[in-house]
A = this chain, B = another copy of it.
Amino acid sequence: MKKTLRLRLWILILSFSCTLPLAAQRRIYHLPDLDGRVTLKCDLHLHTVFSDGHVWPTVRVEEAWRDGLDAIAITDHIEYLPHKAYIPVDHNAAWKIAENVAREKNILLIQGAEITRKMPPGHFNALFISDAARLDQPEFLDVIKEAIGQKAFILWNHPGWKAQEPDGIPKLYDIHHQLLDKGWLHGIEFYNDVEYYPLVLDFCTRHNLAVLGNSDAHGVISEGYLKAPGDHRPMTLVFARERTRESLREALFKGETLVWFGEMLAGRETLAREFFRNGITVAAPFHENDRHAFVEITNHTEIPWLLVNGPAGAPGALTLPARAITRVLLPKTFTGPLLYDVKNIMTGETTVLQVVL
């Protein structure tokens, strides 16, 4: 006895519903914290009309707020200024324009600049600087020295960018070794926009650097990423004591980061393991029959996990969709530990995270 729809009721209900996308609204990401630290979602490489970007600086803050980020850096090029026929050179302008909006939107805004050179050395972000104008100098090492004097965090950007490294493989040239020797290099981009460079994971492990993932956006973020997998830009997850600029800076210098883009996570094995463990629940079996125990595994995070290379006698592969519960049938003949490779957590150029459920 099917009831006819009372359409008028629907209209009432729906009219409320539909107005919501219009409201200013900040996304919540479900990403676990680590023990004693909060997970800050950061994009530390962004451009505006003040170099070769297409948006006004305040747009970067508003995007970050809607996208649920905690911190961003605006890093316009020092040396590449194609709009200068219309906009006079002012390396600090974007920062000055965006600063107050950031304060009102509760976004940690990091002042930065992109030092833009041929490879080697390539492009570098100086983050946490206080005066970008003083980075406008001819000699690369002088610029870095000035940035270091401003207590900057120095980040090597897209080291395998094909326009500068035709084979796509990042290489440590002499100049990079000089930076390393002086302690003037603190992080490398693993993800830059949609590109990633597996070898960066090994560089970072060997030289104790932070792994970063950034959008390097020139255009509108929502047009570039929001139809992409997981609907988010590449980001650096920084594990900080608290949600302040100072804690963020400290955690970056300690290399306490993972990068997340699409459905891939990458970074230091110990951090990745804790992150994975804190985002998953494996419940006791809720049912058994002659052959199987029935178990529910909840993935609380935004990131689906693809487990492969399972042990003999257990499911060979398990997909744990993001923010969903997966039901697993375990053969009763299986007794060993549930050891899997997490195919989408990279810990080195050729290694992925191994976990026991």
Contact = CB atoms under 8 A, between A and B. Distances in A.
B86 A264 contact: no
A50 B23 CA distance: 27
Nearest to A103: B287
A312 interface: no
A158 to B, nearest CB: 7
Contact of A21 (B1, B50, B116, B227): B227
Interface in A104-126: 104-106, 116, 123
Contact of A77 (B1, B5, B228, B321): B1
Interface stretch (A192-200, A202-210, A247-255, A268-276): A192-200
A176 interface: no
A223 interface: yes
B3 A163 contact: yes
A350 interface: no
Contacts of A17: 18, 229-230, 262-263, 304
B163 A219 contact: no
Interface of A: 1-7, 9-28, 49-50, 52-56, 58-59, 65, 68, 77, 80, 83, 86-88, 90, 93, 97, 103-106, 116, 123, 158, 161-163, 192-196, 216, 218-220, 222-223, 227-230, 261-264, 286-287, 289, 294, 296, 298, 300, 304, 306, 319, 321-327, 344
A32 to B, nearest CB: 15
Contacts of A263: 13, 16-17
B56 A54 contact: yes
Contact of A104 (B4, B9, B289): B289
B327 A106 contact: yes
A80 to B, nearest CB: 6
B26 A326 contact: yes
A296 B65 CA distance: 12
A2 B88 CA distance: 22
A3 B193 contact: yes
B59 A25 contact: no
Contacts of A4: 162
A212 to B, nearest CB: 16
Nearest to A300: B28
Given A6-B194, A14-B18, A17-B230, A25 B326 contact: yes
